[in-house]
Amino acid sequence: MIKVGVVGGTGYTGVELLRLLAQHSGVELKAITSRGEAGTAVADMFPSLRGRVGLQFTDPAKSSLSDCDVVFFATPNGIAMQQAVSLLAAGVRVIDLAADFRIQDVAEWEKWYGMSHASPALVAEAVYGLPEMNRDKIRNARLVANPGCYPTATQLGFIPLLKAGCVDASTLIADAKSGVSGAGRKAETHILFSEAGDNFKAYGVAGHRHLPEIRQGLSLVAGGPVGLTFVPHLTPMIRGIHATLYARVTKEIDFQALFERAYRDEPFVDVLPPGTHPETRSVRASNVCRIAVHRPQGGDTLVILSVIDNLVKGAAGQAVQNMNIMFGLDECAGLSQLPVLP
């Protein structure tokens, strides 16, 4: 049994980790932290976990995280980078759901995240945890940077095209929409029901912190710099990301066949038949990314539709997938949930 700790068990990605780990036969939950709820039974706060999680929340400063085999950080940006060094020194592997180790250029990270990096030396060691891109490196990683939610949906949609060199890499467009849980569980005015409900808006058009993360991944695949316009939107749904991706064709190939080949052996990427329109509810609560490939009116622009659940393939599910790979388990262990309908 793999001994697991979760830092940030009261947040949305934290409780999603608990839901998935509680259904995973290869792990034992050892510590679940909260600063404000230490001493509260986890199942009292989240009755959905009654009978499945018997632990209480513990104060992160007093938790026995160094006794774990792996610790997940489901915390705001800037927390894991302060604690990873000592955990790694104690032989604990770390999976950070935040962005502390996602960007290899530390100066660039500091610019977008508005803080100094506490462990710049660890950044080079960290492996970007997108299994479809980095599975072999993840296997031996001590420290995994779990990708962001928008970056997961966007990169999975563009990667086959850039690998094949069949689109103009300088004019990519990602028009992405997220459910409100993407903003986390903390109280903020713009995510109040009466602000976000029955409403739809773009944000971060001038520059969102996921832009450098997506650019980094796509540039590696393309073998050179990419030009990307990325516009996120907030939609009045709870879970889900829908990314509509545009790319101009430079080489004629069978694009549907390209995607089917690229993801044929991927357990969590489903390429839909031609002409289909994936819905966010078709992946709700599951670790699946569904992709459809379109070429409207046979023109020179491809439109790729990519949907994920931001809390699962966009966060906790992908983190469990990474843990499975790191510990040599079945990659799908604990991740066989079908999407919830309606």
Ligand X SMILES: CC(=O)N[C@@H](CCC(=O)OP(=O)(O)O)C(=O)O
Ligand Y SMILES: NC(=O)C1=CN([C@@H]2O[C@H](COP(=O)(O)OP(=O)(O)OC[C@H]3O[C@@H](n4cnc5c(N)ncnc54)[C@H](OP(=O)(O)O)[C@@H]3O)[C@@H](O)[C@H]2O)C=CC1
Q: How far is the CB of 267 from ligand X (least distance, A)?
A: 22
The nearer residue to ligand Y, 177 or 259, going by C-beta atoms, is 177
Residue 339's nearest CA partner among 275, 277, 291, 279 is 279
Is residue 310 within the footprint of ligand Y (CB under 6 A)?
yes
**Separation of alpha carbons 177 and 244, rounded Å:** 9
Q: Which residues contact 129 (CB under 8 A, 6 or more apart)?
A: 95, 138, 141, 144, 145, 146, 147, 318, 319, 322
Interaction partner, residue 60 (ligand Y, ligand X, none; CB < 5-8 Å by kind): ligand Y
The nearer residue to ligand Y, 6 or 302, going by C-beta atoms, is 6
* R_g of the chain computed on alpha carbons: 19
- Known catalytic membership, residue 289: no
Is residue 149 within the footprint of ligand Y (CB under 6 A)?
yes
Q: How far is the CB of 196 from ligand Y (least distance, A)?
A: 14
Q: How far is the CB of 203 from ligand X (least distance, A)?
A: 7
Choose, by CB under 6 A, the member of 40, 66, 77, 104 that binds ligand Y: 77
CB closest to ligand X, residue no: 148
Interaction partner, residue 234 (ligand X, ligand Y, none; CB < 5-8 Å by kind): ligand X
Say if CB 183 and CB 11 are below 8 A apart: no
What kind and span of H or E run contains 294?
Answer: strand 289-294
Interaction partner, residue 100 (ligand X, ligand Y, none; CB < 5-8 Å by kind): none
Catalytic residues: 149
Q: Which residues bind ligand Y (CB under 6 A)?
A: 7-14, 34-37, 60, 74-77, 79, 97-98, 148-149, 181-182, 184-186, 310-311, 314-315
